[in-house]
Amino acid sequence: MAWKKAKGRVLEKRITTEKGEDNLFFYPYVRYEYVVDGKRFISDRVTQVHVGSGTPDFAKRTLEQFKVGRSTIVYYNTNDPEDAYLIGGIGSVFTPFLTQMAIICVVLVLLVLYFVPDAPTHILEAIQGIGRR
């Protein structure tokens, strides 16, 4: 599946919600139009994967990128031009989240290794050596 860029125009944007089992999920919603080979399409898919959050913060930050009536880049499937999205690549959505999670994981591992009495001695020495630098 190959993806190409097309010029699009934002028609509408808002935050939508979906009820989960135990909580509410917030999603960015952007309706936009674009033209491929002279044919006009309308879509509302923002990312390649439907991504939401338990708070409206992610949706708000995502929507800040788009202004109603303004042009935007649309990525469309060359085999099926109706298949389109706005934010290029799943990495652009998850990079900040994954970076934060990686930092949290490293800190947790270091804390466990430091406070668990039977942690390997050489690992504890390495951690203490980092703190002295």
Cα 45 from Cα 35, distance rounded (Å): 15
C-alpha distances in Å from residue 19, one per residue of 1, 11, 58, 124: 32, 25, 17, 45
Amino acid at 34: Y
Cα 68 from Cα 31, distance rounded (Å): 9
Determine the pLDDT at residue 122: 61
Single pTM value for the model: 0.65
Determine the pLDDT at residue 102: 65
Confidence band, pLDDT 50/70/90 cuts, at residue 91: very low
Which residues make beta-bridge pairs with 53?
26
Determine the pLDDT at residue 92: 44
Residue-averaged pLDDT of the chain? 83
Cβ-Cβ contacts under 8 Å for 40 (sequence gap 6 or more) = 33, 34
Determine the pLDDT at residue 53: 87
107 and 113 Cβ atoms separated by less than 8 Å: no
**Tens of pLDDT, residues 26-70:** 999 999 999 999 999 999 999 988 888 888 998 999 999 999 999
Cα 96 from Cα 122, distance rounded (Å): 32
Cα 105 from Cα 35, distance rounded (Å): 44
